[in-house]
């Protein structure tokens, strides 16, 4: 390349020659005048630097029992208050850095890794999720608390309560009464919630253990670990007749009671394929699906051309409802052992099959 550029017509600019050869002028100049290899230079020691004995004294001071657990700023301030000065705070950090000791000098708590909750409900009263949301009042800065327990499989509201306070005692009262009213057996139910103060109290965990309920918690600051309770609160607060602000707890209870009745018996839940939570919780959706299928069959018989994909079928609610599906377990690929002989014709057949699969 250099020979071609050197042999070019002097009237031809170097830039055009480089464009024709697909290279840059900087590369040509660099190859024409190669720089000498950089020689390591010894850095001059500043006259302001600490001497070796002074550095040893400072490190010994930082390693002394008095200051072994203290940061350089604390050491500097303590010595200065005693009319002692060795060096600046930055110099102390530099000396520690050179010895790979520049870190938090106090013991630190190890990071906690919370497990991802994996919950599956294939029937009612297997998994409940619950949470607490704030309800604004007409008094600025004053809120009521709505405790709401949902059945995961059917989205049915199995229990709710309006209270002025948010604490573990009220949560225990609501859970215990709901368990007693619905006659939930020990070992039957998993109760899922986030990590709010009422949910993480030791007394609340003790109640669940006494009732034979398995506890499940979301990860900190991960709202997606309790999505069905969050979605239920949105459904509640986005109702057209939602007051926005309540005058008192009696007003909130009256409105919430009407909402629960509507939600159970009239709300055609999208996640339940158009069935109401009350129909799915009671099991009536099975016979109702038969009636609705008869209606669709009659409509298809009257106008079959309107269904281009064939006769319509009623979709039942999902057979299982999952929070954070567990990752699939992939079987390990079988690898022939070193002493295992693989027939050559099998390898050829496998390659041919793979090529056919790619081609198709």
| DSSP tag of 246 | B
Number of domains comprising the chain = 3
Note the pLDDT of residue 334: 54
Q: Is the residue at 72 inside a domain? A: yes
CA distance 291 to 37: 89
Note the pLDDT of residue 43: 74
Same domain flag for 201 and 81: no
CA distance 325 to 268: 25
Same domain flag for 16 and 65: no
Same domain flag for 125 and 176: yes
Provide mean pLDDT across the span 53-64. 93
Residues 6+ apart with CB under 8 A from 218: 117, 192, 193, 194, 195, 225, 226
Q: Is the residue at 42 inside a domain? A: no
Same domain flag for 178 and 235: yes
8 Å CB contact between 243 and 258 = no
Last residue of a domain, one of 210, 237, 266: 266
Q: Does pLDDT of 107 surpass 80?
A: no
Q: How buried is 129 (Cβ within 10 angstroms: 0-12 exposed, 13-18 middle, 19+ buried)?
A: buried
Helix residue spans in the chain (DSSP H): 2-6, 14-21, 25-32, 52-62, 72-81, 89-98, 168-182, 197-200, 202-211, 227-237, 249-265, 277-282, 285-302, 344-359
pLDDT: which is higher, 107 or 2: 107
CA distance 331 to 275: 38
**pLDDT tens sequence across 28-41:** 877 777 665 455 66
Q: C-alpha distances in angstroms, 37 versus 25, 40, 42?
A: 21, 9, 16
Q: Is the residue at 342 inside a domain? A: no
Provide mean pLDDT across the span 70-83. 93
CATH code, domain with 237: 3.30.420.10
Same domain flag for 134 and 261: yes
Q: Which domain holds residue 24?
A: 2-32
């Amino acid at each position: 390349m250099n020979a071609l550029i050197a042999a070019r017509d002097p009237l031809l600019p170097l830039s055009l020659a480089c464009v024709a050869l697909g290279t840059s002028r900087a590369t040509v100049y660099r190859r024409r005048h190669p720089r000498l290899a950089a020689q390591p230079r010894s850095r001059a020691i500043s006259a302001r630097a600490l001497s070796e004995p002074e550095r040893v004294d400072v490190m010994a001071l930082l390693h002394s029992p008095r200051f072994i657990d203290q940061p350089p700023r604390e050491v500097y301030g303590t010595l200065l208050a005693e009319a002692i000065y060795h060096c600046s705070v930055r110099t102390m950090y530099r000396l520690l850095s050179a010895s790979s000791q520049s870190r938090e000098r106090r013991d630190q708590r190890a990071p906690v890794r919370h497990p991802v909750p994996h919950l599956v409900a294939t029937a009612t009263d297997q998994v409940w999720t619950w949470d607490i949301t704030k309800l604004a009042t007409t008094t600025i800065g004053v809120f009521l608390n709505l405790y709401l327990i949902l059945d995961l499989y059917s989205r049915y509201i199995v229990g709710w309560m309006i209270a002025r306070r948010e604490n573990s005692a009220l949560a225990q009262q609501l859970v215990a009464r709901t368990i007693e009213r619905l006659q939930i057996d020990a070992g039957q139910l998993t109760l899922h919630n986030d990590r709010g103060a009422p949910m993480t109290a030791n007394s609340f965990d003790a109640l669940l253990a006494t009732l034979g309920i398995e506890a499940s918690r979301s990860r900190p600051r991960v709202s997606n670990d309790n999505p069905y309770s969050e979605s239920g609160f949105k459904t509640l607060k986005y109702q057209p007749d939602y007051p926005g602000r309540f005058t008192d707890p009696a007003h909130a209870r009256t409105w919430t009671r009407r909402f629960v009745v509507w939600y159970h018996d009239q709300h055609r839940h999208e996640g339940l394929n158009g069935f109401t939570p009350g129909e799915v919780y009671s099991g009536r959706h099975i016979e109702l699906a038969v009636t609705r299928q008869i209606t669709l069959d009659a409509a298809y018989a009257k106008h079959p051309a309107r269904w281009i994909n064939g006769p319509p079928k009623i979709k039942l609610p999902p057979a299982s409802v999952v929070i954070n599906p567990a990752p699939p377990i992939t079987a390990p690929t079988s690898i022939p052992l070193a002493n295992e002989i693989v027939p050559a014709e099998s390898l050829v057949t496998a390659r041919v099959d793979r090529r056919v699969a790619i081609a198709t």
